[in-house]
Structure 1
């Protein structure tokens, strides 16, 4: 970023505010990314974690040491290496000590370090004590062997390691979360046995694919026994891209009538689960649950008991509802973003992570071997000089006693180097006893063997890889354990719908002519006998169940849905339907339906058109409804007719001029919305003039009768008497007997 810098008369540099803020924010963001929030692929640690581990090792707090107050460690960390708040350093320390947070804890804590139920309930650092866990040795054991680079601390008074020489791919083992500027990281924990198995395979097959590596790494392994229910294909995609998500589900079992939850997803609190379930019980969304108990203790860290209301409760759908509506099932974001060996942050796939870490490990091992080789050569060089002095001990002593500068004389007389001469002069006389010659030669022999072995290993990439492999296997032998989080296949959880949670009692929904709606219990209710407001009367009624919805059809062909259980009681006079839906102004309500999702209805207009529709296609969550029936010009909506079982059913249609037509219902299409097909022929000119139209259409079956009303007169016809009116769909139909040329309506009788 180019900056326009102006040097003022007083010699002060002047920046534009834009350039200054851009640079300041960029510097800050790079600091947060590289030196605070993201882990390094080498040791899997953020800087604060690395500094805590290093400071504890410098204090001598190894796994075999005595515990020391945590405040001592935090003081060293913030005083020597990490100039930030003590609470931030202590919280990072606590996290590494919690066995329910870290798959392989790095710190061994004594005292109150929080609980799974409340991870932040840990005691203050002046009360707790700590030392390094045995697993921290994987990170620290090679630190003083020339394996990593060092850098000055914040005030330049001492050095600290840039990374720790980890003997295992720790970045995958414990996982890490962090939020930087413009990026974040969410790396899940894994099983050490699986990860090292994949690492060894990668070492032997550098071009191994994610598919091959997944023969070893099944998936993440959290420090909980809850199930991972993410599909293997999704896990593979996550490892291939470095991004994805994991779903975990609690473990439960039946103990008699009760349901007992024994393992919760990672970082889920049992008390929060009970709160979520109790809230649903209070909201009457869990009528099948009678009681909750928390029986967790030291022997059973997680034991939540759900008591069903009765033995007849099916607990499988109940638990599925709880998985969908509480933290008993939880999704974790995966974003394997880390600082690579090139010092740059990047989201990496599994094979890239392991190959980069192996590059670091091979380099670390090479540096360790070279460091040791240098030490061996230095020691051999000193022993060569010491042996010369021993073989000429009298002359050496004489030179030391008589010469002013014995060092120079020794170097000239015996062709010694400065290092050898200094070593001879620093040697105590008692080390030059007769027995020492054998010790010197034995040590030389042993060191020469080690030198040859080191030089051979350093000169052979194959032997170097074998050594790395053996050391990786040693980590598995010492710290390897079985997987804790099983990976299983489970059906997707589904919460109960509002209808499923309602009691299913029979109800009758009543709609008045002026649009007032109400609901009464039972199907024996007589809608005509109810009281209505002055000038109002019964218009439509429908029978169904309290957990069903009610579909209303208006005169414009739109359909609306209201919940039956939410309607006011039939003891009163109801409430305006327009308070629940938003129909166009001036429309009338022409249909009232209740049924199941797959129930069929005959929807028609008096223009002689219609179709079969499923009940679910008429339902709408929108208060403005949805278009269901398209009306031809001059046409009006007819009351929908239930179809029931379509097989063997027929449609009978009658016009106001006394023409009737019968045809199989299979001739009409099943549609979600539209005008439909022609049922009975009505000339459009006569329809628009309202001279002729279809007054009724019904579904009829063999064994039923048809009643045709014309004024006060009516005509009953058995099904087998309708053959005269049978014809093709869309025809004009045949005339009814004299006296029924002006039909009002038709009805089907059982």
Structure 2
């Protein structure tokens, strides 16, 4: 038993296992093969549809049947991955060349979901059938066992075009990802033909044919000068913009119409774009927007933004480019499986791989066709020879006891046991010497083949077969001849399936938006106890000050260009621009403060809110649950970040009070056990916000600070304590950092 135990380092096993797993995901799941531009799930789905006979000119079949058959035979990774793949291959807004013809609801460009597989139907598109699967019966690619070795599947499809470039690809593997943009079919074919004619062409030479990506959604690529480096390295960023037009609207208004969107906005991106535009108006970044509507239909994209009469359209368009996804970046990483390995490939390397694959499949195809024609020639020559001596053949057949004897005579000239009419016939029979294939064909030949016209057709067919053999031999032996055949096929595909370029390739300047200066004015910030905040007109606040202060937890006057500061029990400071808050009427609800800040309602409580400009003028006093106190200069909280640490806390401690110091002379601490301590504010030292502070009251075991009160000179203030009224001014002023007095009323 011991000799069967293998001792090894655990880390080595883990490393090898992870590498095996990663390579399995990379090669067998996530990345396309550069030769056919397909991931395994796409290849298996298309091959299964081919086997099911779902040709482009035949009826559709339920998607559920296709998915189930593919999963059962070739791709045992769940039906959702197969159906999602099938759906994408039907969508002309994602694929420049849809590979599947779908019937039913397969989703749309705005992100609406596709119907379930039991409702939709599909079949192969014409280009897929004719140029991806047509030559599978000609031994052009290797077939490998499926996952349980009950079926065989092609290791790659014999695709006649550089599909990896034309349709592009996106996928995430382990530690790597592929992202290749789609390209125009006619341009890619022209580049492929040019490369076959001169394989010394550089990427720069090839880009005379391929201008750049051609997205199904159109748009404008604005960094043309950077494309060469992207295609030479296989990585980079393509900047794309939507297409914008202007129209005259109602009442002299201007309509900004978006007719093409960036490829990255496919799906929910359109809804996000519209909400982003609406947010520009809500946050008062622009006051030019009157309305926005999505009027898109089957005819194409049409998003209309209605603008005011005096709007600077160019400046507003630049705002959209800067603040929304109307201008976006497409990250390029042309990673594919090449010779069994994941490689980031340049345009030239992709062309080389595709050209090599075309020559490889053409060689195997014409080798198969040549063998087929040679076999046919052998049979035809045997039949012609047999027709010339048909009487002798009939005599052999009639004189033989069985098929084997007749065949032996035709092939080997063995006449023993066969009854001939004459010695001359026997002698001639011994000299026939047909091949075995010819003999089988003669024995299976039907009598109608002896009709004169049939004989004439046989001779013509033989002549055509000889011509085909000569043609195929020339193709296989002459590289130029094979190249001409491949190029001829490519030109036919281009002629039938070419389409005009949709994406404009250009150099455009970076969008510059000139913000209109905001007119600074006073507004009132108000927030209720539920955390809903807004700003209102300052005059409205002054008229209703008492009511607002009674109904709202926080309220104060501030500048509309300023920030609101929120101090929380966790010691954090959250800042919110007044511009980010909706301005409305006093009875409007407002928005939750956590919608415009990093405030976490589940973990934090707001202790105090104030205008940042007010904090700059004063000092701030912090008191914690463990009775740690300090004064901080308000200028330290003039920060640009949305969230910073306002004070340092010990483990288990939290802030219970934050106070802006004006004329407060004494501070009174009340503990949970009923102890009171009154001392002068001046005895608390000023420290930095990163400091912990000093002790205010000596607390007993398990006791903590419950409340903090402040008094000015001669000020009277009463609180409820033990269900009775306590005058705070009657408490004796003592020293900080003492136990205080337990008050019993």
TM-score range, shorter chain: 0.5 to 0.7
Q: 1:565 to 1:208 in 2, by over 3 A?
A: closer
How far has the Cα of 1:105 moved from its partner? Answer: 0.2
| Pairing partner for 2:18 from 6, 22, 25 | 25
For the 8 Å contact 2:410–2:433, the answer to whether it is kept is yes
Q: TM-score, normalised by structure 1?
A: 0.66
How far has the Cα of 1:546 moved from its partner? Answer: 7.7
For the 8 Å contact 1:43–1:171, the answer to whether it is kept is yes
| Pairing partner for 2:490 from 469, 472, 494 | 472
How far has the Cα of 1:620 moved from its partner? Answer: 9.6
For the 8 Å contact 2:386–2:393, the answer to whether it is kept is yes
Q: Does 1:312 align with 2:330?
A: no
Moved segments of 4+, more than 6 Å? 545-549, 562-566, 579-582, 585-589
Q: Distance in 2 between matches of 1:290 and 1:346?
A: 50
Cα deviations by residue, 1:186-206 (Å, 9 ceiling, x for unpaired): 011000111111111111121
Q: Distance in 2 between matches of 1:358 and 1:378?
A: 30
Q: 1:214 to 1:122 in 2, by over 3 A?
A: same
Cα deviations by residue, 1:159-199 (Å, 9 ceiling, x for unpaired): 21111111111110000001111211101100011111111
Superposition map of 1:469-548 within 5 A: 469-494=487-512, 500=516, 502-503=518-519
Q: Distance in 1 between matches of 2:388 and 2:612?
A: 123
| Pairing partner for 2:362 from 362, 365, 379 | 365
Unaligned runs of 5+ in 2: 249-253, 414-431, 524-536, 539-558, 564-575, 581-610, 622-630, 643-745
Q: Does 1:127 align with 2:119?
A: yes
Q: 1:234 to 1:430 in 2, by over 3 A?
A: same
For the 8 Å contact 2:476–2:482, the answer to whether it is kept is yes
Superposition map of 1:274-673 within 5 A: 274-299=274-299, 301-308=300-307, 310-340=308-338, 342-403=339-400, 404=402, 405-413=405-413, 414-494=432-512, 500=516, 502-503=518-519, 575-577=614-616
Q: 1:214 to 1:437 in 2, by over 3 A?
A: same
How far has the Cα of 1:281 moved from its partner? Answer: 2.6
Deviates more, 1:172-181 or 1:424-433: 424-433
Q: Distance in 2 between matches of 1:242 and 1:86?
A: 33
How far has the Cα of 1:579 moved from its partner? Answer: 6.5
For the 8 Å contact 1:287–1:501, the answer to whether it is kept is no
For the 8 Å contact 1:325–1:495, the answer to whether it is kept is no
How far has the Cα of 1:621 moved from its partner? Answer: 5.6
Deviates more, 1:326-335 or 1:148-157: 148-157
**Which residue is 1:235 aligned to?**
227
**Which residue is 1:74 aligned to?**
67
For the 8 Å contact 1:190–1:221, the answer to whether it is kept is yes
Q: Distance in 2 between matches of 1:565 and 1:65?
A: 61
**Which residue is 1:209 aligned to?**
202
Cα deviations by residue, 1:554-593 (Å, 9 ceiling, x for unpaired): xxxxxxxx99999xxxxx99724157999xx99999xxxx
**Which residue is 1:595 aligned to?**
none
Q: 1:578 to 1:237 in 2, by over 3 A?
A: farther
| Pairing partner for 1:253 from 217, 222, 245 | 245
For the 8 Å contact 2:219–2:260, the answer to whether it is kept is yes
Q: Distance in 2 between matches of 1:455 and 1:581?
A: 94
How far has the Cα of 1:435 moved from its partner? Answer: 3.4
For the 8 Å contact 2:219–2:503, the answer to whether it is kept is yes
Q: Distance in 2 between matches of 1:177 and 1:232?
A: 22
Q: Distance in 2 between matches of 1:574 and 1:22?
A: 58
Q: Distance in 1 between matches of 2:618 and 2:633?
A: 15
For the 8 Å contact 2:224–2:506, the answer to whether it is kept is no
For the 8 Å contact 1:100–1:267, the answer to whether it is kept is no
How far has the Cα of 1:486 moved from its partner? Answer: 0.8
Superposition map of 1:16-95 within 5 A: 16-95=9-88
For the 8 Å contact 1:142–1:368, the answer to whether it is kept is yes
Secondary structure of the 2:138 match is: coil
Q: Distance in 1 between matches of 2:453 and 2:233?
A: 66
Q: 1:462 to 1:574 in 2, by over 3 A?
A: closer
How far has the Cα of 1:50 moved from its partner? Answer: 0.7
| Pairing partner for 2:153 from 140, 160, 163 | 160
Q: Distance in 1 between matches of 2:2 and 2:80?
A: 44
Unaligned runs of 5+ in 1: 1-6, 508-519, 522-544, 550-561, 567-571, 590-618, 624-750
Superposition map of 1:696-715 within 5 A: none
Q: Distance in 1 between matches of 2:438 and 2:39?
A: 44
How far has the Cα of 1:296 moved from its partner? Answer: 1.7
Q: Distance in 2 between matches of 1:296 and 1:355?
A: 41
Q: Distance in 1 between matches of 2:180 and 2:298?
A: 30
Q: Distance in 2 between matches of 1:432 and 1:345?
A: 61
How far has the Cα of 1:425 moved from its partner? Answer: 1.9
For the 8 Å contact 1:174–1:190, the answer to whether it is kept is yes
Q: TM-score, normalised by structure 2?
A: 0.66
Secondary structure of the 2:229 match is: helix
How far has the Cα of 1:411 moved from its partner? Answer: 0.5
Superposition map of 1:683-702 within 5 A: none
Q: Distance in 2 between matches of 1:140 and 1:96?
A: 15
RMSD (Å), alpha carbons: 3.3
Secondary structure of the 2:106 match is: coil
Secondary structure of the 1:278 match is: helix
For the 8 Å contact 1:285–1:501, the answer to whether it is kept is no
Secondary structure of the 1:286 match is: coil
**Which residue is 1:652 aligned to?**
none
Q: Distance in 2 between matches of 1:16 and 1:211?
A: 50
Q: 1:501 to 1:274 in 2, by over 3 A?
A: farther
Q: Distance in 2 between matches of 1:573 and 1:304?
A: 40
How far has the Cα of 1:328 moved from its partner? Answer: 1.2
Q: Distance in 2 between matches of 1:109 and 1:100?
A: 13
Q: Distance in 1 between matches of 2:612 and 2:489?
A: 84
Q: Distance in 2 between matches of 1:77 and 1:563?
A: 56
Q: Distance in 2 between matches of 1:574 and 1:328?
A: 36
For the 8 Å contact 1:407–1:421, the answer to whether it is kept is yes
**Which residue is 1:721 aligned to?**
none
Secondary structure of the 1:142 match is: helix
Q: Does 1:8 align with 2:5?
A: no
How far has the Cα of 1:290 moved from its partner? Answer: 2.2
Q: 1:396 to 1:213 in 2, by over 3 A?
A: same
